Amino acid sequence: MVNIGFIGAGNMGTAIMKGISTSSLGKDVKLSAFDPSTEKVKALEEYGVTPCSSEKEIMENSKYVFLAVKPQIIEGVLEAISAYTTKDTVIISIAAGIGDEFIAKKTIPDAKVILVMPNTPLLLGEGASALSRNDKVSDEEFDVVLNIFRICGKAAVIPKDKMKEIIAINGSSPAFIYLFAKGFIDYAASVGIDSKAAEELFTQSLIGSAKMITDSGNTIDDLIKMVSSPGGTTLAGLERLYEGNLTDVVKNCCESCTKRAYELSK
């Protein structure tokens, strides 16, 4: 049995706990959580999560400890756990911008630290998570955590120094994609198409297009060409997107996301 504790049971902590407990891993792990908003932990009891009343209780009962709190308050949380961090504890931080060196500095110099940038689709077993670790974490320990994120979707191991840059690609990108989807669904409503039908058709187009990128064997440029009949509707629409420099807008969005991660960084 692997003991996994969560400090913070907000959107992401909850998504990871529900992801673990509803996956095949559920029976092999014992989950516990602490959050000052006790109702959030209470709501997780039906997923087999044991409520704890302090950081100390989590630390004393867990080998793997997830820090699922906002970057702005993580320093206080690290101060609260430092006295209970041992050379055996594996600290897993999902906080945007927070580095492993800061975590070790605020706890113990030999702290085992894994950094993860997950995303909310993990709630449905469709997460996309990036992971990296410091050199104190053993292969076996890293595999335990990697396995959690693989079971809850896809996971990629990336260099530690790219953990801030990756946020735009998977951590924040669901919000960017939802906004894009809203534009299509709002347009459908404006021309009198039932929004339920529009949502069903557009979301299936998102899923299908994603599968074409991953499974068709074609490049993205080839896939765009396959849809674009000469003199047809797609080219007419694409012209407006090129005119609005969509790819530059996306690049600016990603750069702004990364810049904020550096501002939050510790």
Ligand X SMILES: NC(=O)C1=CN([C@@H]2O[C@H](COP(=O)(O)OP(=O)(O)OC[C@H]3O[C@@H](n4cnc5c(N)ncnc54)[C@H](O)[C@@H]3O)[C@@H](O)[C@H]2O)C=CC1
Ligand Y SMILES: O=C(O)[C@@H]1CCC=N1
Say whether residue 171 binds ligand Y (CB under 6 A): yes
Sheet holding 50-51, edge to edge: 50-51, 29-34, 2-7, 64-67, 90-93, 112-117, 127-133, 153-157
- Residue 35 interacting partner from ligand Y, ligand X, none (CB closer than 5 to 8 Å by kind): ligand X
Which member of 4, 65, 74, 96 binds ligand Y (CB under 6 A)? 96
**Stretch in the footprint of ligand Y (CB under 6 A) among 20-28, 150-158, 166-174, 209-217:** 166-174
Rounded CA separation 81/77 (Å): 6
Q: What is the nearest approach in angstroms of ligand Y to the Cβ of residue 172?
A: 5
The residue with tokens 């809203």 is 182
Nearer to ligand X, 95 or 257 (CB): 95
Q: For ligand Y, how many residues bind (rule: CB under 6 A)?
A: 4
Q: What does 226 interact with, of ligand X, ligand Y, none (CB < 5 to 8 A by kind)?
A: none
Task: Find the binding residues for ligand X in span 154-193 (CB under 6 A).
Answer: 171
Among 2, 3, 40, 250, binds ligand X (CB under 6 A): 40
According to CB under 6 A, which one of 2, 3, 10, 57 is a site residue for ligand X? 10
132 binds ligand Y, rule: CB under 6 A? no
Question: Considering beta carbons, is residue 81 or 96 the nearer one to ligand Y?
Answer: 96
Question: By CB under 6 A, which span of 27-35, 61-69, 167-175, 239-247 interacts with ligand Y?
Answer: 167-175
Residue from 16, 49, 91, 117 that binds ligand X (CB under 6 A)? Answer: 117
Q: Kindly state the smallest distance separating residue 127's Cβ from ligand Y, in Å.
A: 12
Q: Which residues bind ligand Y (CB under 6 A)?
A: 96, 167, 171-172
Q: Which residues bind ligand X (CB under 6 A)?
A: 7-13, 34-37, 40, 68-71, 73, 77, 94-96, 117-120, 171
